[in-house]
Amino acid sequence: MIFKNAKINAFRTWGLLLTMLGMGLMVLGTAGIVFWGQAGKIFAGIGLVIGLIFMMGSLGVYFWAGMLSTTAVQIQCPECDKLTKMLGKTDRCMFCHTILTLDPSQANVTAEELRSADNHSDSTTTHT
């Protein structure tokens, strides 16, 4: 789910995971005080510090994703005709997860070929 996704969506997923982890650790750390009293304070301290680091990390990931999305190329997906953003030369469509590329040497099907294939299949279905 994380790996079979558009790069921008993958960044957002990682950012969310980091936030959840950080918050989880902070909650666990605070719970440590309730359950173990004085001894739990050390545990809570460690949990809060690590949690904070995770939160900062997720902030960094979100910021990075935001910066990357401003440089992303907006194109119309030839498969589902929706507007999607691409990072780098090869990325997946945000909506249908089709692998798209700007590099003609990496493409095995061009947009024109895909369109003509679609028209072909449309005509065959109307004929039968």
Amino acid (one-letter) located at 85: K
Sign of the C-alpha dihedral computed for residues 37, 40, 44 and 47 taken in this order: negative
Give the nearer residue to Zn ion in terms of CB position, either 18 or 72: 72
Q: Which of residues 48-77 bind Zn ion (CB under 5 A)?
A: 77
CB of 120 to Zn ion, least distance (A): 20
Only one of the segments 33-41, 79-87, 103-111, 116-124 lies at the binding site for Zn ion (rule: CB under 5 A); that segment is 79-87
Q: How far apart are CA 15 and CA 10, in angstroms?
A: 9
The reply on whether position 6 binds Zn ion by CB under 5 A is no
Task: For residue 26, list its beta bridge partners.
Answer: none
Q: Of 85-114, which residues contact Zn ion (CB under 5 A)?
A: 93, 95-96
Read off the tokens for 48.
């809060």
| Shortest Å, Cβ 65 to Zn ion | 20
Task: Tell me the pairing of strands 90-92 and 83-86.
Answer: unpaired
Q: Which residues bind Zn ion (CB under 5 A)?
A: 77, 79-80, 93, 95-96
